[in-house]
Every structure is written in structure tokens, then in C-alpha cells.
Structure 1
Amino acid sequence: MKNVLTTCGYCGCGCNYYVNVDNGEIVGITPKPDHPVSQGKLCVKGWHGYSFVHHSDRLKHPLIKQQDGTFKETTWEEAFKYIAESFKNTINNYGPDSIGILSSARCTNEENYLATKLARSVIKTNNIDHCARL
């Protein structure tokens, strides 16, 4: 079994743990005992959040919804192109304030900063919020 040190991605705290990998599959998690944030402990997401990685229902390719309501598998390049065109069309038709960005506690501080830059500098909207805002 191989143990790979990584940083948990479920919030911005930055807890470290070892991902236990056996035959190419994640089989468990071991917290890093001397990490200054997690101190050898993890929340429930840190302990069990890996279960989706090898789940049979996990989507492995992007899907684009068709006019008839069905989904068509596509490439990442085409999916990003579709997203960019949809954003452009929405902004052109309804203005930049028709777009909002909802960030997440699963993002790092740096990722949340980039989401703010995307909203304010690229899209030109102040419509950005966070799921943990009180």
C-alpha cells in the first residue's frame, strides 16, 4: 500500500492527510499527526470524503444538455467553449449583473480570491456570494 500526503480540499483550513492507495484505488485516509492545523484529527468530510472517487455513478466526462432535454457527452474543450459562449450570450442579452458567482467553503482562500477576481474583473459584476456567509 502507498500513502500519499495531500491537502484536504473540503474547506479552506488546509488539513493534511495521507491518502491510502492500494492497487490504484483509494482505500482509506490517515491524518498527518504533526500537522499544525489538523493535529492528527479530521472532520467527517476529511475522513470519508474520498468515497465518491471510485463510485460507479460518478460522471467522468462533461455533458451538455440538448434542446430535447437529453445530455450529450462531450470533451472538456467543447464544454468550456459552451460555458464561455453561454456566459457571453447572457451578459450581452441581460447585462453583467444577470450573472452571479456562488463560491464554496470547499475552496481554498486563493480559489475564493480568484472567484472574486472572475466576478469583478472579467464578468464585471459584484454578484458574488459564499455558502458560509452569515
Structure 2
Amino acid sequence: MKKILTTCPYCGTGCNFHLQVENDQIVGITPAKGNSVNNGSLCAKGHFGFDFVRHPHRLTSPLVRKNGVLVETDWDEAFAVISNRLKAFKKDFGPDSIAGFSSARCTNEENYLMQKFMRAAIGTNNVDHCARL
């Protein structure tokens, strides 16, 4: 069995754990000890919530709507579509017609970059986050 050190995807805390991998399938998780922010502990999601990687409906490539139907595409086309749509919305309706909504599953650095992009590139302060205490 392989052990792969990685970071939990569920929130921005950055807990580390070892994926236990057998036959290219995750079969368990062991919390990392020592220098990890979680110091050997994990929440229930981090410890047991890994089945999503095998879900049959999990998206593994970008989808773009063409003629009303979502079709698989490559990342270059997907980013081009996003860029063109954002530019068109900004031109036609102004920068405040666009909002950015970030995720607690992102790191603090990723959330910072998202809000910076919205403010600097798009020109709006319409930025929010799903984490609520």
C-alpha cells in the first residue's frame, strides 16, 4: 500500500494527511503528525470524506455550453470562453454587473487572489465568501 502526503481539500486550514492508496484507489486516510497544522487530528470530513474522488458524476474535464448542450472541451477553450464572456459582460453592463463568490475549500492565498482579480482586473468590489461563523 502506498502512502501519499497531501493537503485536505475541504477548507482553507491546510490540514495534512497521508492517503492510503491500493490499486490506484484511496482506501483510507491517516492524519499527518509533527509539523502539520492539524498535529495528527482531522475533522470528520477530512478523515472520511474521500469517496467523492470515485463518484461516477465527478467532473474530470471542463464543460462548455454549445447550442444549449454542455460538451467536454480542453482547458484552453474553457478559459477563452470564460474570458470572452467576462469581457462582454463588463463592456455591456459595467464591472459591477459581475461578482466573485469564493469558497471555504480554497486556501487563504487562493481567496486573496480571487478578490484581487475581481478588484484589479474586473474593477468591482462585489466579492463574497461562503464561510460564515
8 Å CA contact 1:12, 1:107 repeated in 2: yes
How far apart are residue 78 of structure 1 and its match?
0.6
Runs of 4+ residues deviating >6 angstroms? none
Give the TM-score normalised by structure 2: 0.91
Alignment of 1:95-110 (within 5 A): 95-110=94-109
Q: Provide the C-alpha distance between the structure 2 equivalents of 1:113 and 1:89, rounded to a whole number of angstroms.
A: 25
Alignment gaps of 5+ in structure 1: none
How far apart are residue 133 of structure 1 and its match?
4.1
Match of 1:48 in 2: 48
Match of 2:120 in 1: 121
How far apart are residue 104 of structure 1 and its match?
1.0
8 Å CA contact 1:16, 1:35 repeated in 2: no
**Aligned partner letter, 2:121:** V
How far apart are residue 95 of structure 1 and its match?
0.5
Match of 2:64 in 1: 64
Kindly indicate whether residue 3 of structure 2 is the aligned counterpart of residue 3 of structure 1.
yes
Q: Provide the C-alpha distance between the structure 1 equivalents of 2:77 and 2:36, rounded to a whole number of angstroms.
A: 42
Root mean square deviation, CA, Å: 1.5
Q: Provide the C-alpha distance between the structure 2 equivalents of 1:35 and 1:47, rounded to a whole number of angstroms.
A: 18
Alignment gaps of 5+ in structure 2: none
**Aligned partner letter, 1:24:** D
Match of 2:32 in 1: 32
8 Å CA contact 2:14, 2:37 repeated in 1: yes
Give the TM-score normalised by structure 1: 0.91
Percent identity at matched positions?
Answer: 54
How far apart are residue 36 of structure 1 and its match?
4.8
SS of 1:113 mapped into structure 2: helix
Q: Deviations over 1:80-119 (max 9, x none)?
A: 1101111111111100111100111111110011011101
SS of 2:19 mapped into structure 1: strand
Q: Provide the C-alpha distance between the structure 1 equivalents of 2:90 and 2:70, rounded to a whole number of angstroms.
A: 24
Q: Provide the C-alpha distance between the structure 2 equivalents of 1:30 and 1:84, rounded to a whole number of angstroms.
A: 40
How far apart are residue 75 of structure 1 and its match?
1.1
8 Å CA contact 2:16, 2:36 repeated in 1: no
> What is the count of residue pairs matched by the alignment?
133
